[in-house]
Amino acid sequence: MKITKKKVVLCSIISLILIGGIILAYSLGKSDSPTLAESKPNKLINNSFLTLMLEQEDGTYQESTSNTWPSGNYAFNESLSRCENGGELRWNREEGIVNLLSNKSDACYVYFDLYNVVTITNVQATKTTNSVTLTVTVDAGENPVATYYFSMDGGRSYETSTSPNYTFSELTPNTAYTFQVYAVDTEGYESNEETIEVTTDNYVNPVVNSVTATNVSNDSITVSVSASAGTNNIQTYYYSINNGSYQSSSSNTHTFSGLSAGTNYSIKVYVRDTNGVDSNVYSINAETESVVLLADYIKGLYTSQGANGLYYHTSSLANSAADNSYRYAGANPNNYVCFGSTASTCPSDNLYRIIGVFGNQVKLIKADYTTTTMTGSGGDYYNNYQSANGSSSYYKGSMSTSNIASYYWNRSNGTSSTNTWSESRLNTTNLNSSYLSYIGSTWSNKIARTTWYVGGHSGNEVTPATFQDAESTGTTYSAKIGLMYVSDYGFAASPSAWTTKMSTYSSARDNNWMYMGLYEWTISRDSYDSDYAFRVNTTGYLNFDPVYNNYRAVRPVFYLTSSITYNRGSGTAADPVRIN
């Protein structure tokens, strides 16, 4: 930074006379008129009342006959300089002159020593919005600098430092300041004084550039904020909805929950930096989604046969159930639902899958098998699956088979039982008592009491559609929880398998999302033998077992009430459908 240097101290000394308390500076040359002295080297001197004494090389002083001020390495000697009538001589550093303080005319002796005083050659400044740091460069004198003096108030006061650097802090942004600097060496001799003007930086506030609603459901709105830091970093984000109180957060995303469906909300956001300075307030409007029944949401995913894994089973769909149901089919459709938990990440025990929509109700099946924690160790419980059935390399779940519970279909009278579902303790105790207690009243109230068709079929050498015809008539039972129908399992395979007999369904297992790889009971009974019920084999085909001496894994199946509404979720295992 360029600065204007004052004249060198040792070469700019003139005489002043104080008359009536006023200091006058005289140019003591040819003119007798008093004028304001300019601090120029070799200024003429009137020696008629001023005696100029210069130090010689041997240390003595000799009167100078020159009518000019001394040049070269000379320094004013305040202790020797004096006036006959008591006038006081003082060195004026700022003006570069000697002041005479007296109320009468006087004859004075001004002494100058041979001395090389330190000289300030440059002052540099670095600045921020609220501080200025000065750095002084000097040419070495006869003795080193002892103290540096820094002023920002026109020399009324000085800050001292033994370092050539000094920082003025707590300044005002975008403001011009004038600083003065001089140095004093170890012998007490003062350098020239330099002045520098510096304007502090303008403070830049943080700015909110945009606010975007990134996720909207029927009861929540998530916003994401794009903001730019100014002079200081962003520390806190503030969020308000409908002019309510602001909520603070360290995150640039925020979710407003517990909102009303189909409602427009005003959202405001601002940020604050680490210096406590606030940004602009940015406002947006966002509207929550209207309430959508879960059944309608799923139906809405259907646009054509097979779209989004859904098939509409009308009478015109070949080999279908022809019951106007919407069913998921294929290897792994996006039909996952989180049921029994509101955790942000759905626990694996709370993952269910949508079998389909029947009328205005959605039918779910647990994604994996149950444990005794869920369906109990009473009723028709036999043992853990590992002990009861051995290991299976076909198992597709994530649990240890030693944790999966195995149950009789019906062992109500000990040694022999019929395949009457109403008498089954698996039905009455394990599913419709223990399991309902496990999920709790909040979630069990979302399950509809349903009429289950438990008439069954006489064999497994038939297609899914044939089973569907048999299951949809005959004996019924009313309860909340059941098991999958054989037809549910059959139609979960890709349509190309629907012409296959269930006894050879192993060929379709890789394209059947409901296949899990363990022996598993269905709710469908064998209408030919009164003590047999159908189960899925580990390899995927359908067979039947006596209900009282075989023990298989189970997965609860139920229909949600028709009033259940969709909240969010794409239906993948990582992002399952959430219900209200």
List Cα–Cα distances, 508 to 329, 354, 406, in angstroms.
11, 19, 25
Tally the C-alpha atoms within 13 A of residue 443's C-alpha that lie toward its C-beta.
16
Average of per-residue pLDDT across 560-572: 94
Residue 11: which pLDDT band, with cuts at 50, 70 and 90? very low
Residue 72: which pLDDT band, with cuts at 50, 70 and 90? low
CA 379 to chain centre: 50
What's the token pair of residue 381?
């419980």
pTM across the whole model: 0.57
**CATH entry 2.60.40.10 includes domain 119-199:** yes
What does the pLDDT look like over 401-434, one tens digit per residue?
999 999 999 998 767 789 999 999 999 999 999 9
Average of per-residue pLDDT across 298-310: 97
- SS3 string, 239-250, reads EEECCCCCEEEC
Q: What's the CA gap between 469 and 472, in Å, rounded? A: 6
Q: Check if the beta carbon of residue 555 is closer than 8 Å to that of residue 370.
A: yes
Q: Do the domains at 119-199 and 207-290 have one common CATH topology?
A: yes
Q: What's the CA gap between 124 and 138, in Å, rounded? A: 12
Fold of the domain spanning 207-290: Immunoglobulin-like (2.60.40)
Q: What is the three-class DSSP state of 384?
A: strand
List Cα–Cα distances, 519 to 435, 469, 540, in angstroms.
20, 24, 9
**pLDDT score of 254:** 98
Residue 272: which pLDDT band, with cuts at 50, 70 and 90? very high
Q: CB 518: neighbour CB atoms within 10 A?
A: 26
Q: CB 377: neighbour CB atoms within 10 A?
A: 14
Is the pLDDT assigned to residue 369 strictly greater than 60? yes
Which residues make Cβ contacts (< 8 Å) with residue 245, sequence separation at least 6?
Answer: none
Q: What is the three-class DSSP state of 401?
A: coil
List Cα–Cα distances, 150 to 6, 154, 164, 188, 361, in angstroms.
16, 10, 10, 16, 84
Q: Where are the domains of the chain?
A: 9-114, 119-199, 207-290, 371-423+451-478+493-555
Q: What torsion, rounded to 10 degrees, do the Cα atoms 54, 57, 59, 60 define?
A: -50
- Residue among 290, 289, 223, 219 at smallest CA distance from 258: 219
